[in-house]
Amino acid sequence: MSLLRVEHLEISISQPSGFQPLIQDVSFQINKGEMVALVGQSGCGKSLTAQAIVGLLEKSLAITSGNILYKGENIVNYDKVRFMRLRRQEISLLIQESLNGLNPIRPIKKQMEEMIKQNRKCSKTERSSQIKFLLEEVGFSKPDQILRAYPFELSGGMRQRVMLAMILSLKPTVLILDEPTTALDVVNRNRVMRLFKHLQRALSMTILLISHDQNNIMTYSDRIITFEGKRGMYDFTRVASNYKKV
Ligand SMILES: Nc1ncnc2c1ncn2[C@@H]1O[C@H](COP(=O)(O)OP(=O)(O)OP(=O)(O)O)[C@@H](O)[C@H]1O
């Protein structure tokens, strides 16, 4: 059984004349433990689909048709509380704007501690060693320096890796990455992509990667789902068997 299945999804914008569809008839499925790339031309609906999956569509937008099945359950009509729980416990979305998710006037340590405290009961020692472990996992060789820093003291790429460490502390089953590496330089881009691959394998994490970076897609994804069509409303699935796998 697929872990996540999107069936004939239609997302519309509310206008005085009624709902106008922005994307229509989007269908695909993702199996547990896969890294799947979602690709397609700009504006075809990749980000909207990701936002719909985690219940973060803007107020003016709505799912007007179709289903989103997670572990067999249709989550389309979840209320705010259930979506919040889903995002905390099951499906995390990392987007460029996540960079703004850090509080500029609180040191990284406090922010990471709070995130873990909110979501899991563990001792202070356990929490502190988990935080360091996560920062090392995302490529910081001196986590203590990062923990003392304020967000404004870090580069965009470093802040993104901190956000990623915070999201990983939630131990999501599914990680949706919307253009996760655009703020990073080439070295960190490759490092972060290798990290995602490692997480996929080590934790059997399921990853949905939205990216325009052909290199990332070809090198790291197991499967590619392509949105095609004039209005960004078609899709098909292609197994990336011809690509070099890492
Ligand atoms: N809040 C919104 N209000 C109105 N239209 C929107 C909104 N968000 C997205 N759209 C429209 O919905 C369509 C799909 O947008 P979406 O951001 O999902 O595209 P995308 O495939 O992620 O594009 P890109 O690759 O450029 O990020 C586009 O036509 C876009 O203009």
Measure 134 CA to ligand 1 centroid, in angstroms. Answer: 32
- Which atom of ligand 1 lies nearest, measured to the CA of 44? 21
Task: From 15, 17, 9, select the one nearest 60 (Cα to Cα).
Answer: 15
User: Looking at this protein, which amino acid is placed at residue 30?
Assistant: I
Please tell me the residue having the least CA distance from ligand 1 atom 19. 43
ipTM > 0.90? yes
- Which of 12, 22, 28, 58 most suits a substitution to test ligand 1, by most atoms within 8 Å of the C-beta? 22
Q: Which residue has the higher pLDDT, 4 or 183?
A: 4
Q: What is the mean pLDDT of the chain?
A: 85
pLDDT at 245 over 60: no
For the chain, the helix, strand and coil percentages under 3-state DSSP, each to the nearest 5: 40, 30, 35
User: Quick one: DSSP state of residue 221?
Assistant: -
Please tell me the residue having the least CA distance from ligand 1 atom 28. 43
- Which of 42, 48, 210, 233 most suits a substitution to test ligand 1, by most atoms within 8 Å of the C-beta? 48
**E runs forming strands in the chain:** 4-15, 18-30, 35-39, 61-70, 73-74, 91-94, 174-178, 206-210, 223-228, 234-239
Q: Are 11 and 67 in contact (CB under 8 A)?
A: no
* Per-residue pLDDT tens over the stretch 6-47: 998 999 999 999 999 998 888 889 999 999 998 888 888 899
pLDDT at 242: 40
Please tell me the distance from the alpha carbon of residue 45 to that of residue 42, in angstroms, as a whole number: 8
Please report, rounded to a whole number, the percentage of residues in the chain having pLDDT higher than 90: 46
* Per-residue pLDDT tens over the stretch 180-235: 877 777 877 787 888 888 888 888 899 999 988 877 788 888 888 887 653 444 44
Please tell me the distance from the alpha carbon of residue 172 to that of residue 241, in angstroms, as a whole number: 27
Question: What does the block give as tokens for 215?
Answer: 């290199």
The mean per-residue pLDDT over the stretch 42-70 comes to 94
CB 48 less than 6 A from any atom of ligand 1: yes
Question: What does the block give as tokens for 177?
Answer: 């990455």
Residue ranges of domains in the chain, CATH in brackets? 1-90+172-241 (3.40.50.300), 100-170 (no CATH)
CB 47 less than 6 A from any atom of ligand 1: yes
Q: Are 193 and 219 in contact (CB under 8 A)?
A: yes
The mean per-residue pLDDT over the stretch 64-73 comes to 96
